[in-house]
Structure 1
Amino acid sequence: MKWYADRPARFTRQLIADLLAAAWVATWIWVATTAHDWVLELRAPGDGLVNAGGDIRDVFTNAAAKAKGVPFVGEDLAGALGNGTKAGETLTSAGNAQISVVQDSAFWLAAAIVVIPVLFLLITWLPLRLQYARKAADTARLRDKPDLLALRALTSLSSRQLSKFDGDPAVAWRTGDTDVIDELARRQLASVGVKA
């Protein structure tokens, strides 16, 4: 495949279009990363719940351990304080669940922010680039076959371009006029930005 034209004007346009496509992708990746980071800031309450739950669990665990040493009621007191430990674990679990939801939301939001514009680019820009690359490569392979290029020019050049020839270029091609054939071939190569 031939990705870029040989002619400077078309090459420049293609290069600018490709750089704009790369900038488009880079911009949306930056936007997605920024949005991801902003959404992750919403995990602060979840972190607070995890820390608070851990602190409550540790306090009640220590209190239950010390309560076991109290004569007569130590085991009952330790059991009651054990419920406080479970409450701390519940808070920790709730915080972890919130953190997980926020992280998943941040990931999927960032993925959507990148995928949708990149998909749009791939649907619009990429087919045009691939079409050009195939057409230019196929045309460039015919450089040493001016008759075929001239025939292609007769079918693809505009009526205005064909009318600029002295006489009928189709008749000149059929009769083997090498000057007209070479000019038609050159124009066909030029139409895809390939040098003769």
Structure 2
Amino acid sequence: MRFYAERPARVVLQLLADLLAVGWLVVCVLAAQAARELILGLQGPAQTMVDAGGTIRGAFDEAARTAQQVPFVGDDLARGLSGGTGAGDALATAGREQLETVATVALGTAVGIVVLGALPVLFVWLPLRLRYARAARSAVAVRSVDSDLLALRAMTRLPVRRLLKVSPDPAAAWRRDDRAVVHGLAALELRSLGLKTPKTPPD
């Protein structure tokens, strides 16, 4: 694969496009991290519930232990206070479930932002870069040995207005093997890819 051209102007444009693509991905990742942190900030009330549940459970456990020391009715008092312990556990459990829900939403949001942000890179930038790399590799492989193939590629790939600058009838000239036109079309194809033309065109 040849990912970059040989002509400086084209290389600068390619590097700029690559940097923009990478920069866009970095921005998406940073945005995803910021969104995740923002959503995780909503865990505050849930954490308060967990702490409150633990505090309530601890208070009722302590009260139950103290009540057990009361003569005759201590066990009954302790059993009555056990309901408060259960309430503390329920409150803490509800808080932990909310914490897990918020964490899941935060992670899903972050992943969604990264995936959606990466779509333009994956479906626009990357295919264009791979298509260029394949075309440039093929052109470099044949430019010193086969002008005809490059000329044919130029006629099938480039706009007609550019072909007409080489010859009023480039297809007819190519069919009758007009070497000047063939070399001109081949050079046009190479320039369109940002590649240098050979000093001595192949016959």
Q: Which residue of 2 aligns with 1:153?
A: 154
**Distance change >3 Å, CA 67–CA 183, structure 1 → 2:** same
* Alpha-carbon distance, 1:88 to partner: 0.8
**Distance change >3 Å, CA 155–CA 79, structure 1 → 2:** closer
In 2, Cα distance between equivalents of 1:65 and 1:136:
82
* Alpha-carbon distance, 1:147 to partner: 2.5
Q: Which moved more, 1:165-174 or 1:153-162?
A: 165-174
Q: Deviations over 1:39-68 (max 9, x none)?
A: 111100111111111111111111111221
Q: Which residue of 1 aligns with 2:94?
A: 94
Matched, 1:190 2:191: yes
Between the aligned residues of both structures, percent identity stands at 47
Q: Which residue of 2 aligns with 1:125?
A: 125
Counterparts of residues 61-76 of structure 1 (less than 5 Å) = 61-76=61-76
Q: Which residue of 2 aligns with 1:43?
A: 43
* Alpha-carbon distance, 1:18 to partner: 1.1
Matched, 1:27 2:27: yes
Secondary structure of 1:2's match?
coil
**Structure 1 stretches of 5 or more lacking a match?**
none
**Distance change >3 Å, CA 51–CA 165, structure 1 → 2:** closer
**Structure 2 stretches of 5 or more lacking a match?**
198-203
User: Is this contact kept in 1: 2:166–2:184, CA < 8 A?
Assistant: no
* Alpha-carbon distance, 1:2 to partner: 1.5
Matched, 1:181 2:194: no
Q: Write the letter of the residue equivalent to 1:117.
A: G
**Distance change >3 Å, CA 60–CA 134, structure 1 → 2:** same
Q: Write the letter of the residue equivalent to 2:152.
A: L
User: Is this contact kept in 1: 2:166–2:185, CA < 8 A?
Assistant: no
Q: Deviations over 1:8-52 (max 9, x none)?
A: 111111111111111111111111111111111110011111111
In 1, Cα distance between equivalents of 2:104 and 2:157:
53
In 2, Cα distance between equivalents of 1:128 and 1:4:
12
Aligned residues: 196
**Distance change >3 Å, CA 35–CA 63, structure 1 → 2:** same
Q: Which residue of 1 aligns with 2:201?
A: none
* Alpha-carbon distance, 1:174 to partner: 4.6
Secondary structure of 2:5's match?
coil
Q: Write the letter of the residue equivalent to 1:138.
A: S
**Distance change >3 Å, CA 140–CA 104, structure 1 → 2:** same
Q: Deviations over 1:83-129 (max 9, x none)?
A: 11111111110110111111111111111121112123312222222
In 2, Cα distance between equivalents of 1:132 and 1:93:
57
